[in-house]
Amino acid sequence: MKLIILDRDGVINQDSDDYIKSADEFIPLPGSLEAIARLKQAGYTIAIATNQSGIARGFYDEATLAAMHDKLAHLLDEQGGEIDYIAYCPHGPDDDCTCRKPLPGLLTEIGKHFGVELTNVPIIGDSLRDIQAARTVGAFPILVKTGKGEHTLAHMDQISDIPVYKDLAAAVDTLLSKPD
């Protein structure tokens, strides 16, 4: 199985410091849907691991989150793409959970769901916590400059050894150009 794990906000869709609180606010980044479709067509199993503390903060509920993901599924279907699994953390930063990135809970959930080890699985994110979570499970972290990615580059001492791409489409271009 060729598995890839993507962060959501800032990688697939626009991010906001005010949170993405509705399906209307869920706006894909240019080229992201096409990139996911190309991954799917190349035989990848695609999962999303996303912190969604807006639920704990009362900005939206799980039904609204499901509506966002339904919108994503519909938009991807139009492109010939699909997400195979979505793992999300509904907790806030002070809730003492094990799933909120940079902790590995979401990633281990995905590994268990597919019955695979995550060693060297590409994980594409825009934040330091995505990179830290990927390293915790032995995966292959990739940073994109979209979303919080440019800000994350300020932590180059912690990420100097990982690939950095303009956006999801550029990262996918490179992944798909490598022989299996």
Q: How does residue 157 score in pLDDT terms, banded at 50, 70 and 90?
A: confident
Domain CATH code at residue 99: 3.40.50.1000
Average pLDDT over residues 14-40: 97
Measured on CA atoms in the order 173, 132, 102, 19, is the torsion positive or negative?
Answer: negative
The mean predicted confidence, pLDDT, of the chain is 96
Average pLDDT over residues 64-86: 98
What distance in Å separates the CA atoms of residue 59 and residue 38, rounded to the nearest whole number? 33
How are beta strands 44-51 and 2-6 bridged, if at all?
parallel
Whether the predicted pLDDT of 6 surpasses 70: yes
Note the pLDDT tens digit of each residue in 94-150.
999 999 999 999 999 999 999 999 999 999 999 999 999 999 999 999 999 999 999
In the chain, how many domains are there?
A: 1
- Residue 178, pLDDT score: 83
The angle formed by the CA atoms of residues 19, 141 and 31, to the nearest 5 degrees, is 55
Of the two residues 160 and 23, the one the predictor is more confident about is 23
- Residue 43, pLDDT score: 97
Residue 131 lies in domain: 2-177
- Residue 115, pLDDT score: 98
pTM of the entire structure?
0.96
Q: How does residue 55 score in pLDDT terms, banded at 50, 70 and 90?
A: very high
The residues carrying an active-site annotation are: 7, 9
Average pLDDT over residues 47-58: 97
- Please enumerate in sequence order all residues whose Cβ is within 8 A of that of 140, keeping only pairs 6 or more positions apart, or say none: 120, 121, 122, 123, 134
Q: How does residue 180 score in pLDDT terms, banded at 50, 70 and 90?
A: low
